[in-house]
Structures are given as C-alpha cells and as structure tokens.
A and B are shown apart, each in its own frame.
Chain A
Amino acid sequence: MTATFIHPFTGFIEKTFVVTEFELRKLRHDFTELVTRALQPALWLLIFGQVFSRSGAMHTGNVPYLDFIAPGILAQSVLFVAIFYGINVIWERDLGIVQKFLASPTPRAALVLGKGFSAGTRTLSQAAIVYCLSLILGVKLNGSPLALLNVLVLVVLAATLFSTFSLIIACIVKTRERFMGVGQVLTMPLFFASNAIYPTTIMPGWLKTLPHLNPLTYVVDALRTFMLAGSTSAFGLSRDYVVILLTTAILVFIGARLYPRLAT
C-alpha cells in the first residue's frame, strides 16, 4: 500500500473524474443510446413546435414561438434523459457493483458527482441535435463562442442536477418498478410547471409561484438567454447560475449521504 498523502479535496476531484471517465468509456462501447435519444427533441421541435407556431396561440412577444421553445426543448430533453438516470444505479445494485465501489476508499460524494457529470456529458449530444434542427428551422441563434460555451456548461450542469435528483430517488425506493413510477410522476410537473414551452405569464395565478421553485425554469431562462440572438434573461444570469449550482451542491450532499443505503 502506498503511504503518499492525498489531500481530501484533490482526492475528491480526482475520483469524481475517474468515475466520470469510466461511465463515458461504457458509452464508447455502445452508443446506440445516443441515437435513440436524439429522436425525442426532434419530434417535439418538428411536430409540437411547428403546430403551435402555426396556430399563434402562444403569445411570446417579439420572439417567434419556434425560437421561444428551442431552448425549452433542449432543457426538456436534458431533464427527460437525466431524470431516469437513477435506474442505472438500481441495476448496478442488483448486480454487486455499487457494493464494491462503496467498499473502496472512494469518497461517496465523488461517486455521486462523478455519475452526475457523466450524465451531463452524455446529454451534450442533445445540444448538438437541437442546434442542428434549430438551424434548419430558421431559429435565430446566437453564434458567439462565449454563448455556445455557456450553453454547453449549462447543459452539463442541468443534467448533473437532475440526474443527482434521480439518484437520490433511486437510493430511497431501491427497486426498478417503484423508481419508474416515481420518475413518471415527477417528470411532467417539472416540465409543465416551468417556462419551457410557454411563458409563465399565461399561467393561472395559483400556478404562477410553482415555476419559481422549479430549477428547470432557471435552466431554461439561462439557455434562452445564451442560445437566442438578442435575448435577455428574465431573472438575471447570475441568479440562474446561483440557483443551479446551489441546488446541485445540495443534491450531491444529500446523494452522498443516501448512497450507502443501496448497499444494505
């Protein structure tokens, strides 16, 4: 055994990336998953987006409806991919993989955050799809490198946030059947009680506070600001980033506390 002292923080960061690295290596061996995932945002933009932009039912101000929902669909596809990520750890628990990692000296938070980042990196393909479709459909995109970089960072962070939330649910329910049930129940409110496919101003009064408690709203707001040419943030970008980062940190902390439950 080596006697070298490893600082807890550098150790944590290093182990987080080790976990992410190997999750991504799995993807390299089988990327059919990425192709099938691309279908959903394509259908939303091509069918839902086209129909509703034609009807003119949504009042989205100066922004054409299709431009308005393009960032919303990106956020949605990130949410849909990430929210079922927890099924993987249930699968790994039914095998003996979770137990073996927990019996290693790896910090629990690194196991959780490492998996979160890998979900984040996996969803980058969704950003590529939505950008391609948006270009074809004539959405006025912001092409500046800084804006693009922010979009990539936001997609990774959002997927990390929701996949960690998903992992927490997996640690609590522990079985696939219950997990799928809870996942279904959570996805729709997170999606519809947000600003993803319509402005929150058209919501009835009693519903209006809900989007403000929903992290997806801040993800969509920030994505919209960076993706669309000449767009401004409704809440302020620093507020968006603070909400996203803080929620992620809290969820990783809770996830690290609950993760050992999977071994019992």
Chain B
Amino acid sequence: MSEVVLDIKSLTRRFGAFTAVDSVTLSVDAGEVFGLLGSNGAGKTTTIKMLITLLPPSSGEARVAGFSIATQAVDVRRSIGYVPQAVSVDGSLTGYENLLIFAKLYDLPRGERQARIQEALEFMDLAAESGRLVSQYSGGMVRRLEIAQSTLHRPRVLFLDEPTVGLDPIARDAVWKHLADLRTNYGTTLFFTTHYLEEAQSHCDRIAIMHLGKLDALGTCTELEASLGGGSHTLDEVFVHYAGSALDSGGNFHDVSAERATAQRLG
C-alpha cells in the first residue's frame, strides 16, 4: 500500500447561496499523477484553493501530506508547491532572481541555495536564460520557470491549475515532459486541473470529473471509459456524459476573462 498524500473528506465551499464545491471526497497516493477535469465553473479552482489553504472550507476536511488544512496551514504550505493558472513569476526580475526569492522564503539552507537553483534551472532547461528578465521569456519558458519555482523546496504535492492553458503543442509537450521527470526523480505527487481531455488521457494515473461542484466520476481512464457500458467509448464521450453538454455551465465572466488574459500573456 502506498502512502496517502491527499485525504479529502466531504469538502464543501459555499459562496452565499451558491455551492461551488459540494461534499467532495477523494484520496490521492504519493507519486500519483491526478487530473481534475470539468468545464469552467465546475469548482476545480475552488477545490485547489481550499487544499492549498488560500480559502477556508465551509465544511468538511482535508489532510495534505498528513497535515490538516484547517489547523496546520503553515505545515501544509511547507509541503506543497502551487502553480496558479495565471502567470505567477515576476516579469521585472530575472529567472534566477525569481528562484532566489523563493529559495529564501522557503528557508532553503544558505549553503544549498545556489546548487538547488542551478539544479532546478538545468532540470527545466532554463540555465542559459537565467540572467534574462522574465518579461522577455516565451510562454513555455514562463511555465517551466513557474514549475521550477514551485518545486525548489521539493514539495510532496505539486498543485497545478490549468498548467498548459495558452501554450502551443510543442511548449505543452515540453511542460509535460518536465512534469513527468519531476515525478520520476523526486516522487512528487502531481494534482492538476485541465479541460484538455487528451492531456488527462496521456499523463494521468487517475482522473476525476467535476460537474457543478460535485465529483461525478473517479478512476483510471480505462475504468471511466468502461463505466458507460455498451461497447467502446472515448474519454470525450465520458466527459460529456458526466459533465453534461458544454452549454449548461461555462463559468462566469470573471473566470473566462481571467483565462483569456492568461492565454494572451503566455501565447
């Protein structure tokens, strides 16, 4: 039995009368690559925000790397890395400086900082560009720098919110190659949201489909495809079956404009 790094029980978040996340129960093992799928506004980002202690749950509980998100928030924060959907590195600093600030904030021992930063830069293929201002980076480089920044302290779990939104297929592949290496080399658990089905299919050990705040399906891609019964189904069909037609949800104005802004900045 492998160790459970994410243990989520009846996690719920309400905003007024609206229930964004509705009693989600889920557990993820150490070293797993877990994809959370759903249309815009399904509650994926709200779920991640609760798990990384940016948003307190209305009810329910979760333990991340063994620590309670409600009572041990600082320990949770030390154990995780977070790559938000929007651009989270600073364009007015160099790639190296962006890593240095996080090395300091996460208390990496002084003697190890330079070696760790160098290793992260090489790992993400950014060593040659480390002295340039990030505002001159391409979208794919920005994402790789963000991943380097969020994994400098070797987190147990890395949370990624739409990690490949706005990237061209080549940059997207490069990001996934590096994410897969992270798991192989450091055993990092990856928990990410996406609405690219083919990505989930080719990279995830298991996926969950969220719809209107509820977890509607959970399993490996093969299991989910089999769950519909009656012959072979594609993941697209599974998604439409559980998440409904794309017309009945789609997120609010804020979600959509934030996503398009990110795509524009990276693209």
A contacts, CB < 8 Å to B: 1-2, 4, 6, 11, 14-15, 18, 21-22, 25-26, 29-30, 94-97, 99-106, 260, 263-264
- Contact A95/B52 with A18-B105, A103-B77, A105-B77 known, Cβ cut-off 8 Å: no
Q: How many interface residues does chain B have, given as a range?
A: 35 or more
CA–CA, A29 and B96, complex, Å:
14
Contacts of B74 in A (CB 8 A): 105
B contacts, CB < 8 Å to A: 49, 52-55, 74, 77-80, 82-90, 92-94, 97, 101-102, 104-109, 133, 149-150, 153-154, 258, 261, 265
- Contact A2/B54 with A29-B93, A95-B88, A96-B87 known, Cβ cut-off 8 Å: no
Contacts of B78 in A (CB 8 A): 1, 105
> Can you identify 19 A-B contacts, CB atoms within 8 angstroms?
A1-B153, A18-B104, A26-B90, A26-B92, A26-B93, A29-B94, A29-B133, A96-B86, A97-B88, A99-B86, A100-B84, A103-B53, A103-B80, A104-B77, A104-B102, A105-B74, A106-B105, A263-B49, A263-B55
| Most interface-central of B87, B90, B94, B109 (chain A CB within 10 A) | B90
Say whether A96 contacts B105, CB under 8 Å.
Answer: no
Min CB distance A91 to B, Å, is 11
Q: Across the interface, name the chain B residue whose C-beta is closest to A97.
A: B88
CA–CA, A26 and B92, complex, Å:
5
Say whether A99 contacts B92, CB under 8 Å.
Answer: no
Min CB distance B99 to A, Å, is 11
Min CB distance A15 to B, Å, is 6
Say whether A104 contacts B106, CB under 8 Å.
Answer: yes
A99 touches which one: B88, B89, B133, B149 (CB < 8 A)?
A: B88
Min CB distance B167 to A, Å, is 15
CA–CA, A263 and B261, complex, Å:
17
A22 touches which one: B88, B101, B153 (CB < 8 A)?
A: B101
Min CB distance B33 to A, Å, is 20
CA–CA, A104 and B88, complex, Å:
13
Contacts of A94 in B (CB 8 A): 86, 258, 261
Say whether B53 contacts A18, CB under 8 Å.
Answer: no
Contacts of A25 in B (CB 8 A): 93, 97
Q: Tally of A-B residue pairs with Cβ under 8 A?
A: 85
Min CB distance A158 to B, Å, is 25
B101 touches which one: A1, A18, A95, A99 (CB < 8 A)?
A: A18
Besides A2-B108, A103-B80, 17 more A-B contacts (Cβ < 8 Å) are A4-B109, A6-B107, A14-B104, A18-B105, A21-B101, A22-B93, A22-B101, A26-B90, A94-B86, A96-B84, A96-B88, A99-B54, A101-B105, A102-B54, A106-B105, A260-B54, A264-B49
- Contact A99/B55 with A4-B107, A29-B92, A263-B49 known, Cβ cut-off 8 Å: no
Contacts of B109 in A (CB 8 A): 2, 4
Contacts of B52 in A (CB 8 A): 103
Say whether B104 contacts A2, CB under 8 Å.
Answer: no
Q: Across the interface, name the chain B residue whose C-beta is closest to A18.
A: B104
Min CB distance B252 to A, Å, is 14
Contacts of A95 in B (CB 8 A): 86-88, 265
CA–CA, A102 and B55, complex, Å:
11
CA–CA, A6 and B82, complex, Å:
23
Say whether A15 contacts B88, CB under 8 Å.
Answer: no
Contacts of B149 in A (CB 8 A): 100
Min CB distance B144 to A, Å, is 15
Say whether B82 contacts A99, CB under 8 Å.
Answer: yes
CA–CA, A99 and B52, complex, Å:
10
Min CB distance B164 to A, Å, is 15
CA–CA, A6 and B87, complex, Å:
30
Min CB distance A55 to B, Å, is 45
| Most interface-central of A21, A99, A100, A260 (chain B CB within 10 A) | A100
Q: Across the interface, name the chain A residue whose C-beta is closest to B90.
A: A97
- Contact A30/B85 with A1-B78, A6-B107, A15-B105 known, Cβ cut-off 8 Å: no
CA–CA, A135 and B79, complex, Å:
56
Min CB distance B129 to A, Å, is 15
CA–CA, A26 and B97, complex, Å:
10
Contacts of A15 in B (CB 8 A): 104-105
Contacts of B54 in A (CB 8 A): 99, 102-103, 260, 263-264
CA–CA, A100 and B88, complex, Å:
7
Say whether B92 contacts A30, CB under 8 Å.
Answer: yes
